[in-house]
Amino acid sequence: MKNKKLVKNNNTKIKIMEKKNFALIGAAGYIAPRHIKAIADTGNNLIVAYDKFDSVGRLDSSFPDCEFFTENEQFDRFCSKQMRTNEPLHFTSICTPNYTHDAFIRYGLRLGTDVICEKPLVLNPWNIDNLVELENETGHKAYTILQLRLHDAIVALKQKVDEGPQDKIHDVDLTYITSRGRWYYASWKGDIRKSGGVATNIGVHFYDMLTWVFGPVKRNVVHVMSFDRVGGYLELEKARVRYFLSINAECLPANAVQGEKKTYRTLNIDGEEFEFSVGFTELHTKSYEKILAGEGFRISEARRSIEIVSDIRNSAPIGLKGDYHPLCRMPLAAHPFGWDDKR
């Protein structure tokens, strides 16, 4: 039963399911261990991995026999040959820099596998349209990771909003500050053309969560935006959202600094703090379980959040006008490398 796994359903009956074979693109990055763990936790096989960097000792803990390549051509050759064996690849997981997602999703679909892509799915809404066309052409599916939709507290919040008064408009303040060092600005993450900017890089999951809970966007206003922060206002179907996101430690509030914390996250809904700071550990595994059960989030479900970050990226900040987040008042910082590009 080398490629079979036992699965117990709700009636305690045991059925035999075929293990799925995975390829992983982007094995050396920050988020890759969560995908590797999810593949292992769901009882599947990681057959091959690719990254141009070779610091991938993390593979040893779960998949020491996994093939690994640092050259794209060699990886492609192996995958193409594997697809003609009696143990073909079923999924390609993508954990690469944001600007490469579109190309690698295309590669996985054309290879003949389904695809699982880390956030953000793509940088632009029109990329989604083209990928849906390719799904139809190849007959294979692309999924994305929208793990906040699987967080117990957020699922409960959505249920509360859905079951509450349908004409109620909630007041929401979102603050997320996650400190990053100078390395960030020297990497692809600090290049808006490659990362999509702060809103895309650290905010896309929050925008997805907010629109999943409170409905689609009616108005999108940007008050401040620079290389290390973005603050604005979203008018949703059931909420007025003021948000502030930053990677600059100088933006941390005094209570966070006193606690020597480098990350500060708070969501205030109608004057009450909404707690969801724990419960993230297993969300990637839950995401994989959903996908393997045929219930994963398809790429079209990422459209709202991708449209939001694209609109933010291409907006001109209006300054301190209207209803804005209090932290938008903070003076802008100079880029550590003296660059003029504020985003």
> Is residue 15 over pLDDT 90?
no
> Is residue 82 over pLDDT 50?
yes
pLDDT of residue 6: 53
The per-residue pLDDT for range 179-198, each reduced to its tens digit, is 999 999 999 999 999 999 99
pLDDT of residue 7: 53
Locate CATH 3.40.50.720 in the chain.
Answer: 4-147
> Is residue 97 over pLDDT 50?
yes
Q: Where does 149-280+298-329 sit in CATH, by number?
A: 3.30.360.10
Average pLDDT rounded to a whole number, residues 307-316: 97
Is the Cβ–Cβ distance between 143 and 297 less than 8 Å?
Answer: yes
> Is residue 109 over pLDDT 50?
yes
The per-residue pLDDT for range 291-300, each reduced to its tens digit, is 999 999 999 9
Average pLDDT rounded to a whole number, residues 59-69: 97
> Is residue 14 over pLDDT 50?
no
Average pLDDT rounded to a whole number, residues 44-54: 97
User: What gap in Å lies between CA 316 and CA 321, rounded to an integer?
Assistant: 13
Locate CATH 3.30.360.10 in the chain.
Answer: 149-280+298-329
pLDDT of residue 275: 82
User: What gap in Å lies between CA 127 and CA 303, rounded to an integer?
Assistant: 10
pLDDT of residue 342: 46
Mean pLDDT over each residue of the chain, to the nearest integer:
93
3-state secondary structure the chain: CCCEEEEECCCCCEEEEECCEEEEECCCCCCHHHHHHHHHHCCCEEEEEECCCCCCHHHHHCCCCCEEECCHHHHHHHHHHHCCCCCCCCEEEECCCHHHHHHHHHHHHHHCCEEEECCCCCCCHHHHHHHHHHHHHHCCCEEECCHHHHCHHHHHHHHHHHHCCCCCCEEEEEEEEECCCHHHHHCHHHCHHHHCCHHHHHHHHHHHHHHHHHCCEEEEEEEEEECCEEEEEEEECCEEEEEEEECCHHHCCHHHHHCCCCEEEEEEECCEEECCCCCCCCHHHHHHHHHHCCCCCEHHHHHHHHHHHHHHHCCCCCCCCCCCCHHHHCCCCCCCCCCCCCC
Tokens 């007959």 found at: 139
Best CATH choice for the domain 4-147 from the list 3.40.50.720, 3.90.1150.10, 3.90.1720.10, 3.40.50.2300: 3.40.50.720
